[in-house]
Amino acid sequence: MMTLVVASLVERSIAGVARSSKKAFAAGAGAVELRMDHLVGLASKPSMLDEAREAVDGPAIATLRSSREGGRSRLKRQSRARLLERAFEAGFEYIDLELTADSGLITRLRGKGGSTKTIASYHFRRPATRHELLSRLGAACEAADIGKVATPCEHAGHAAAVASAALEFSGRGREFAIMGMGAQGQLTRACAGKMGSELVYACLPGAPAAPGQLDITLQSALIEKDSFVFGLIGHPVAHSVSKPMQEAALRSVNLNGIYLPLDVPPAHMTKEFVSTLFDSGFTGLNVTIPHKERAHRICESLGASAESTGAVNTVHRRRGRIVGENTDLIGLKKLLESQKIPLRNRKSLVVGAGGAARAACRVLRDGGAEVTVTARKAGRAAVVARACDGRGLPLDRASSGSRRWDVVVNATPIGTWGSTLQDLTVPPGVLEGRPVFIDLVYNPPVTESMRLARRKGCETVGGLDMLVGQGAEAFRTWTGRSPDEKRMRAAARRALR
Ligand code: NAP
């Protein structure tokens, strides 16, 4: 089965329908969806449907989305039924009916026979569980030729429930379509083919008919050509610039694909979640704050980089096993080398005791530095320090100003754009003695901590080059190809605030 890519047309006039449908087919659509609820004057002039059908030079779906289910139509039951019957007679290849509002009509139109396929749609108002999705999809498939359900997705866990329901349903031999709405639902659109969805809806540039629809050119490429789906698992993910950076990497080696920031609250970061993504067609995943250590526990096999750090930032699947790597190591190593920062026998301090801190400790240690770790949870600092033969120090002692460091690395999110930590700095006391200060935070490119360090006379380095280095290495792991790092850097730089 090949998923049909449908361009939704939200036009007010027949001339608009004619123009947009031409553009949609030229961009790779296999069909268009005429959103009748957007056509002005249709209720008083139903013959517009014949004109609209003639204006579209290819397969078309007629949809009269009611306001109850997220559309514009407020017609009463009888007027609604009259228009939908008229659309049926106008010769549309598909007619979209609402499982609840049009129940009697679906049976009547199906009974008429003919070549028009009926679609029974159901739109959840709040994120649906896997069980609810399966149950509604079953009912919709019983009612019409194609059953279709859509649900809002507030985070990627909701979208994974959609993907998981689709994968289960695809074994039942029924024609169905399923999608998650909103930016976090986009994975269900990118993976529609692998999920077994009969239809996937996309939009012309800037004219989405539903939140989260992908551009028609991209959606067609994702379905029709060999393409890659990558994602970033984090919480939050709004600060990340990995999407433009990794999509630049794809373009630099002429590959098709998409990179999706996936907001995954801690309770949803499970092995089942990660497996569902790979089953649905993901090729590779990055992992960021706060999931790197969790990812390390979830992976079924670990590369040496992940093994030695206890944290995973890059995931792929090999021979059915979820494999974790840590490309932060190579990213940070490249950054230190390019800046010619000496490490041998130097005193280094890592602030923070999460996944990035683990990678920083390993690189500093391998470079010959003495490593001290400090964090607001002293116990965590000690654990991370032990893993690289370093020592842990409570935050108040590390920042008292009485100790001098040669290199200080901020491995906390302090200073990250758009967070409550945006205006904070690392404790000023760690910057006494003019250490080289490396801030792993890359958004903004110059953090408050870097400003403070400069005022104290320190050399400062931001996290952007590390981001590019770790991203390029992850890309190599997923595709076996070496991307153009200059293009990646430029794309990331442009996206920074
Ligand atoms: P993580 O695993 O969640 O660890 C974060 C660490 O920061 C924890 O020790 C946490 O302490 C501490 N922390 C959080 N808020 C703090 C605050 N207000 N004051 C003091 N400590 C605080 O996250 P991660 O993956 O290690 O990432 C850390 C940062 O590095 C992120 O900003 C990430 O974007 C950045 N990073 C950048 C790159 C790059 O390529 N440039 C690569 C990796 C990471 P608690 O346990 O007490 O919460």
Give residue 475's pLDDT. 98
To test the ligand 1 pocket, which listed residue (325, 412, 424, 489) has its Cβ within 8 A of the most ligand atoms?
412
> Taking CB atoms and a 6 Å cutoff, what residues make up the pocket around ligand 1?
288-290, 292, 328, 331, 352-357, 375-377, 380, 411-414, 416, 421, 440-442, 463, 466-467, 470
Give residue 115's pLDDT. 92
Give residue 226's pLDDT. 85
Position in ligand 1 atom list of the atom nearest CA 463: 41
Is residue 239 very low, low, confident or very high in pLDDT (cuts 50, 70, 90)?
confident
Give residue 224's pLDDT. 82
| Cα separation, 256 vs 229, whole angstroms | 9
Mean pLDDT of 187-206: 97
Q: If you measure from the C-alpha of residue 290 to the centroid of ligand 1, how many angstroms do you get, rounded to a whole number?
A: 7
Report pLDDT digits (tens) over 78-93: 999 999 999 999 999 9
Q: What is the mean pLDDT of the chain?
A: 96
Give residue 131's pLDDT. 98
Closest by CA to 276, choosing from 250, 298, 255, is: 298
pTM, rounded to two decimals: 0.94
Report pLDDT digits (tens) over 204-230: 998 998 999 999 999 999 998 789 999
Catalytic status, residue 456: no
Is residue 385 very low, low, confident or very high in pLDDT (cuts 50, 70, 90)?
very high
Whether the bond between 46 and the residue before it is cis, its omega within 30 degrees of 0, is no
Position in ligand 1 atom list of the atom nearest CA 443: 34
| Cα separation, 437 vs 451, whole angstroms | 10
Q: If you measure from the C-alpha of residue 414 to the centroid of ligand 1, how many angstroms do you get, rounded to a whole number?
A: 8
204 and 20 Cβ atoms separated by less than 8 Å: yes
Report pLDDT digits (tens) over 262-279: 999 999 999 999 999 999
| Cα separation, 128 vs 120, whole angstroms | 18
Report pLDDT digits (tens) over 121-152: 999 999 999 999 999 999 999 999 999 999 99
Q: Which of 194, 292, 333, 334 is catalytic?
A: 292
Mean pLDDT of 295-305: 97
Give residue 482's pLDDT. 98
Q: If you measure from the C-alpha of residue 289 to the centroid of ligand 1, how many angstroms do you get, rounded to a whole number?
A: 6
Is residue 418 very low, low, confident or very high in pLDDT (cuts 50, 70, 90)?
confident
| 446 pLDDT higher than 80 | yes
| Cα separation, 350 vs 363, whole angstroms | 11
Q: If you measure from the C-alpha of residue 39 to the centroid of ligand 1, how many angstroms do you get, rounded to a whole number?
A: 51
| Cα separation, 385 vs 118, whole angstroms | 63
Give residue 238's pLDDT. 87
Give residue 262's pLDDT. 98
Describe the strand order of the beta sheet including 347-351 as a list of residue ranges: 391-394, 370-375, 347-351, 407-410, 436-439, 460-461
Closest by CA to 292, choosing from 307, 314, 264, is: 314
| 1 pLDDT higher than 80 | no
Report pLDDT digits (tens) over 470-494: 999 999 999 999 999 999 999 999 9
User: Which residue's alpha carbon is at the smallest distance from atom 25 of ligand 1?
Assistant: 289
What percent of the chain has a predicted confidence (pLDDT) above 90?
96
Q: If you measure from the C-alpha of residue 183 to the centroid of ligand 1, how many angstroms do you get, rounded to a whole number?
A: 25
| Cα separation, 85 vs 67, whole angstroms | 19
